[in-house]
Amino acid sequence: MKITIRYISAFVALLLAVPAMAQVPAPAPKQSKPVLLKGATLHVGNGQVVENAAVGFTNGKITYAGPQNGANLSGYEVVDVTGQHIYPGLIQPNSALGLNEVESVRATIDWREVGEMNPHVRSVIAYNTDSDIIPTVRANGVLMTQVTPVGGTISGSSSVVQLDAWNWEDAIVKADEGIHLNWPSMLIETGNSRTDERLKRMTEEREKTMLEMEKLFRDAVVYKAGKHNSENLKLASMTGLFDGSRKLYLHANYGKEMIEGINFAKKHGVKDIVVVGARDAVAVADFLKANKVSVIYSGVHALPSRAEEDVDMPYKTPYLLHKAGIPFALDYDLAIHGIRNLPFIAGTAAAYGLDKEQALAAVTLNTAKILGVDKQVGSIEVGKDATLVVSAGDLLDMRTNNVTHAYIQGRNVDLNDKQKILYKKFEDKYKAQQQAPTSATSSAGN
């Protein structure tokens, strides 16, 4: 009986989710005619700012980006955005967006696979383009994400997608660009016998995991050399790590873990390493720089990791990484409902040391470079995809962020979402109630 009730509850929750999904706007049609935005301040994404600028694009590609007086307006549909700001579309790395919808319904959670070592798992094939959350994210200027699996030691491969598509195939910007490794946590004895007995068991488990990883990486190196008689999907998926065609995303926060993980990857010939999380990145900045390791920093809006750290350490870490010469990007971690706050993470970094344009680059061009898609997106330059947003105010400021236009590959994206629909619905309801005469007034009139 308990099992029956549980499944009935899950079915009801799914039914409740269906009407909400019907409110997701349909993807925009392909760009049919040239468009030119004029009169706004252009934030290129590479540090340059152009006042009174124009941006033109045709067939989804940028054809002009510069001063308005240098633009040829003939043949373009001109959109006057005078007084506003044009930015590259923001990019959220390390995200489960589209992989997790209704927390209480297991069937809608596709962000992890069974088992510990799953380098062959492709997260993008589970990406749900009809997620209710996607339109709410676009409304704040986030137009791309890195669909990332979680769980286990090796979670699988991630892909970069744009956020306005009919299906995952349409959404792909770059497929299977990297493999995600969750580095096993180091354990510290406490001096408490009961606790340390548990830590002993955990340490044994960690050593077992390390041996399994060692074997997997060695086997993958041998497999890449062609020394095999049959196809092995796990090993085949890892071969790109050794020729640089795929990145290794090493998820680790503490300094010793980062050092241990990077040394492990280097020992096995991994060419391109990115540390994700990286709360202690400043403490090991010299090591990261010497090994040419990039960082995706999580947790700007967080508490310090240690009691002795400055209370604003997470806020100023992006500035300290920039000062140390470490290539880095910012992310909002795996809290998918919070991804809409990605621009404000960058805004906080700007308030604590980064130049405003450097902060913008940390969620646009820097991210594109780390993910390997900077030739297509990340900045507003001729030849790149016309993936950009227009905001009536400062995009990185929570008080003034007001996205009025969004274009993905030149397509004019519908900025409506479930929250806006509900807001309008109840706004109309209460306005109607205020305007309708009360029964007492009606009686007095009679």
Dump the DSSP string for 340-391. GGHHHHHHHHHHTT--HHHHHHTTTHHHHHHHT-TTTSSS--TTSB--EEEE
Tell me the pairing of strands 142-147 and 90-95: parallel
The predicted-structure confidence for 380-395, as pLDDT tens digits, reads as follows: 999 999 999 999 999 9
Q: Which two tokens stand for residue 91?
A: 């990019």
- Considering only CA atoms, give the Rg of the chain: 25
Q: How far is CA 241 from CA 68, 154, 221, 274, in A?
A: 45, 13, 9, 12
Note the pLDDT of residue 16. 46
Please provide the average confidence, as pLDDT, over all residues in the chain: 89
3-state secondary structure of 247: strand
Q: What is the pLDDT of residue 175?
A: 96
Residue 223: the pLDDT is 92
Three-state DSSP at 39 gives: strand
CA distance 136 to 24: 10
Looking at this protein, which amino acid is placed at residue 143?
Answer: L
Helix (H) / strand (E) containing 205: helix 193-224
Which regions of the chain are under pLDDT 50? Answer: 1-3, 7-8, 10-22, 440, 446
In this prediction, residue 73 carries a pLDDT of: 82
DSSP SS3 for 235: helix
pLDDT given at position 25:
86
- Residue 192 has a pLDDT of 61
For the chain, the domains span 90-376
Single pTM value for the model: 0.88
> What is the Cα–Cα distance from 446 to 444, expressed in whole angstroms?
5
Contact 364, 378 (CB under 8 A): yes
CATH architecture of the domain 90-376 equals: Alpha-Beta Barrel (3.20)
Strand partners, 446: none
pLDDT value at residue 172: 97
Q: What is the pLDDT of residue 116?
A: 87
DSSP E strand stretches across 32-112: 35-43, 49-58, 61-67, 77-80, 85-88, 90-95
